[in-house]
Amino acid sequence: MKNEKMIQALNDQVNKEFFSAYLYLAMQAYFSSLNLDGFANYFRVQVQEERDHALGFFNYLTRIGGKATLAGIKEPQNEFSSPQEIFELALKHEQFITQSISDLMDISREIKDHKTEIFLQWYISEQVEEEENMGRVLNKLKLIKGDGAGLFMIDSELAQRLYVPAVIPGAV
């Protein structure tokens, strides 16, 4: 049985995940413009992960017979004042996404949509990692207080991040 409230909320989440990719692409552009290639790599990987998250919701919607309706993606912030500001914004955005996915879980429980509840569990766990990752880099940036050598050390570390395609149960 299809529930229109659930279908609409899943559609909205597709949009939010693509917006996440768009926002992080703007952050990648900022770091590339400063030749901070490790930070740029970090966000390049993040963009790919967000695209996977969006397509996961899209594929799940299709599988349960709910047509995906693609809305416009709003313009992200494009100007930033510092790496620390970027990670503060990114962490805040991930907290917003965590709340959004928790709201989806509440709807699935309210309407006893157990299959969607199980599908959402991967995203709930993923959000722990998403907030943790952004928070860890943010804490390091706070520690170095704008020191150039410290910034380059973090940049080298973030250059190591690799993209691993997400395997989302229920979305393939």
Which residues contribute to the site for ligand OFO (CB under 6 A)? 17, 20, 50, 53, 94, 97, 130
Give min distance, CB of 35 to ligand OFO, in A.
25
Judged by DSSP in three states, 88 sits in helix
Give min distance, CB of 94 to ligand OFO, in A.
5
Which residue, 54 or 151, is less far from ligand OFO as judged by CB? Answer: 54
Which residue, 50 or 113, is less far from ligand OFO as judged by CB? Answer: 50
CA-based torsion, 170, 20, 16, 55: positive or negative: negative
Contacts of 87 (CB under 8 A, 6+ apart): 134, 137, 138, 141
d(CA 172, CA 134): 27
Give min distance, CB of 99 to ligand OFO, in A.
11
Which residue, 113 or 130, is less far from ligand OFO as judged by CB? Answer: 130
d(CA 171, CA 56): 5
d(CA 33, CA 23): 16
Give min distance, CB of 123 to ligand OFO, in A.
7
Which residue, 30 or 57, is less far from ligand OFO as judged by CB? Answer: 57
